[in-house]
Amino acid sequence: MNTLSKSSSVFAEAKLYIPGGVNSPVRSFRSVGGNPPFITRGEGSKLYDLDGNNYIDYVLSYGPLLLGHAHPVVTEAVQEAAAKGTSFGAPTGAEVALAKLVCELVPSMDMVRMVNSGTEATMSAIRLARAYTGRDCIVKFIGCYHGHSDALLVHAGSGATTFGVPDSPGVTKGTAETTLSVPFNDLPALENVFAEKGKEIAAVIMEPTPGNMGLVLPKDGYLQAIRKLTKKYGSLLIIDEVMSGFRSAQGGSQSLYHIEPDITCLGKVIGGGLPVAAYGGKREIMNWVSPVGPMYQAGTLSGNPLAMAAGIAALTYMKENDVCATLTKRNAELTDALKAAADAAGVPVQVPRLGSMFTVFFSEKEVTNYEDATACNLDAFRIYFHSMLEQGVYLPPSQFETNFISLAHSDEDFAKTAAAAKVAFTKVAES
Ligand code: PMP
């Protein structure tokens, strides 16, 4: 790798004008140390930086780029839409097309409202659940991340965990008090909360296959039991598939585990790399949303024509080419190679995978919840991360994130990644 000298000098300037030099915390590399490369261009599986380095990218903008960087079907759709105007503040056919496509791909959704970020989607879903049930409390799982709205920054994963602020200052006591948190994969803990406060619980919100403490898979029957419990108490089940939607499987984790939520949140892949997210669900519930119903939610740029064009192009290509099934197979090849490299170096790791997502946990035992994830060897992770970066492999700069693959990742990319991992794990073993 060339130096990061140009990136470093821009980063120094960035820090003068932007908190931490970044517009989203994990990008700063603060928890792993060192300077982040500043990116000039992405193409296929690769990222290119200011200093002339290139990287095989397993971050993929934290998930959205299922087809890889600058896939022509997406960029052409965006260019065509841009030439006709960038925003209208009035309805368009593209919004209907994407809504129809999403409802077809995720059958539990009869209706859907487009928003601009996952944060907005989950925040609105919670307001809707509270409006619909007339109840105040919500239940979330420790280490799940649902964006940065106040109600959900309680025991939050992703950057909030990476930077040690799972409960952010600035969230009022009153808000935090109506968010009840329980450990993931622990049914008795949830049953206890319901036994105590069931009649006050508007909704359980969960990542069905959490990706924000690294990738954690649900125990057999766990999700079904949660569905049963919420029904018993008249609480809604909000499945946050902002990350897992069109990633774990075409129909999301709800299709893999056969659970039917009341409300689903989507984001990332749905916008093909442009700012789109959505919440939707049963018609009876969605009819509470303004202007049909009283639950208010709005957005100047919601359903933006460029974003809709990108989403339609990406999801149509995904559906027509069975991309999720292909990536599920490809992911097994890569993750098997990574596990073999760690085993050969004598480094204990767990490599859970699902669809096109995976995590390398530096742990001797299976990671089933936040406690297990935060017990991982973070020093080992840092060595691995920096060694991979030096060898041209760009990974999420935190143990508590998920890695992604795209349709653009080639056999050659995987072979290079596995070879780099061999070197990186050897460094870990020698440390
Ligand atoms: N929910 C989940 C499951 C997520 O992974 C994320 C983002 N990583 C969000 C919500 C928030 O989405 P955004 O960053 O677009 O606000």
Structural domain count of the chain: 2
Distance of CA 193 to the CA centre of its chain: 27
Confidence of residue 165 (pLDDT cuts 50, 70, 90): confident
CA of 402 to the centre of ligand 1 (A): 12
Q: Can you tell me whether residue 332 is helix, strand or coil?
A: helix
DSSP state of 356: T
- pLDDT, position 166: 80
Distance of alpha carbon 353 from alpha carbon 203, whole angstroms: 28
Let me know whether 228 and 352 are in one domain.
Answer: no
Q: What is the mean pLDDT of residues 369-380?
A: 98
Provide the residue range defining the domain that includes 377: 5-70+322-430
Contact 63, 18 (CB under 8 A): no
- pLDDT, position 158: 86
Site to substitute for ligand 1 among 22, 212, 266, 400, most atoms within 8 A of C-beta: 212
- pLDDT, position 206: 98
Give the CATH number of the domain where residue 78 resides.
3.40.640.10
Q: What separation in angstroms does the CA of 370 have from each of 139, 152, 182, 217, 244?
A: 16, 16, 10, 12, 18
Residue of 121, 34, 27 lying closest to 386 (CA atoms): 34
Confidence of residue 161 (pLDDT cuts 50, 70, 90): confident
Residue nearest to atom 12 of ligand 1 (CA): 118
Q: What is the mean pLDDT of residues 230-244?
A: 98
> Which residue among 320, 336, 359 closes a domain?
320
138-150 pLDDT, tens per residue? 999 999 999 999 9
Q: Is 240 labeled as catalytic in the residue annotation?
A: yes
Let me know whether 60 and 202 are in one domain.
Answer: no
Distance of alpha carbon 131 from alpha carbon 127, whole angstroms: 6
- Which residue out of 140, 268, 422, 427 is catalytically annotated? 268
Let me know whether 65 and 184 are in one domain.
Answer: no
Give the CATH number of the domain where residue 48 resides.
3.90.1150.10
Please determine, for residue 29, whether its predicted confidence score (pLDDT) is greater than 90. yes
Q: What is the mean pLDDT of residues 335-364?
A: 98
Distance of alpha carbon 275 from alpha carbon 292, whole angstroms: 25
Distance of alpha carbon 152 from alpha carbon 144, whole angstroms: 9
Site to substitute for ligand 1 among 62, 126, 215, 243, most atoms within 8 A of C-beta: 243
DSSP state of 217: P
Please determine, for residue 2, whether its predicted confidence score (pLDDT) is greater than 80. no
Q: What is the mean pLDDT of residues 396-419?
A: 98
Percent of the chain whose pLDDT exceeds 90: 95
Please determine, for residue 164, whether its predicted confidence score (pLDDT) is greater than 90. no
Q: What is the mean pLDDT of residues 56-72?
A: 98
Residue nearest to atom 13 of ligand 1 (CA): 118
Let me know whether 263 and 341 are in one domain.
Answer: no
Q: Which residue has the higher pLDDT, 161 or 264?
A: 264
Let me know whether 172 and 160 are in one domain.
Answer: yes
**Is the interface score ipTM higher than 0.85?**
yes
Let me know whether 268 and 374 are in one domain.
Answer: no
CA of 85 to the centre of ligand 1 (A): 28
Let me know whether 247 and 334 are in one domain.
Answer: no
- pLDDT, position 159: 86
Confidence of residue 313 (pLDDT cuts 50, 70, 90): very high
Atom of ligand 1 nearest to the CA of 147: 11
Let me know whether 255 and 354 are in one domain.
Answer: no
| Helix (H) / strand (E) containing 241 | strand 236-241
Q: Can you tell me whether residue 43 is helix, strand or coil?
A: strand
Q: What is the mean pLDDT of residues 218-230?
A: 98
| Strand ranges, E, within 246-359 | 263-266, 277-281, 353-354, 357-358
Let me know whether 313 and 227 are in one domain.
Answer: yes
Please determine, for residue 1, whether its predicted confidence score (pLDDT) is greater than 80. no
Distance of alpha carbon 291 from alpha carbon 271, whole angstroms: 24
> Which residue among 320, 345, 366 closes a domain?
320
Distance of alpha carbon 161 from alpha carbon 183, whole angstroms: 15
Q: Can you tell me whether residue 101 is helix, strand or coil?
A: helix
- pLDDT, position 275: 98
CA of 346 to the centre of ligand 1 (A): 35
> Which residue among 299, 320, 341 closes a domain?
320
- pLDDT, position 396: 98
Percent of the chain whose pLDDT exceeds 70: 100
Matching residue, tokens 């030439």: 83
13-27 pLDDT, tens per residue? 999 999 999 999 999
Let me know whether 301 and 184 are in one domain.
Answer: yes
Distance of alpha carbon 360 from alpha carbon 350, whole angstroms: 6
Q: Is 48 labeled as catalytic in the residue annotation?
A: no
Let me know whether 84 and 228 are in one domain.
Answer: yes
- pLDDT, position 160: 83
Q: What is the mean pLDDT of residues 254-259?
A: 98
Please determine, for residue 47, whether its predicted confidence score (pLDDT) is greater than 80. yes
Give pTM, 2 decimals: 0.97
Q: Mean pLDDT of all residues in the chain?
A: 97
67-121 pLDDT, tens per residue? 999 999 999 999 999 999 999 999 999 999 999 999 999 999 999 999 999 999 9
Q: Which residue has the higher pLDDT, 159 or 90?
A: 90
Q: Is the CB of 243 inside a 6 Å radius of any atom of ligand 1?
A: yes
Residue nearest to atom 5 of ligand 1 (CA): 243
Let me know whether 414 and 339 are in one domain.
Answer: yes
CA angle 401, 143, 155 (to 5 degrees): 130
175-195 pLDDT, tens per residue? 989 999 999 999 999 999 999
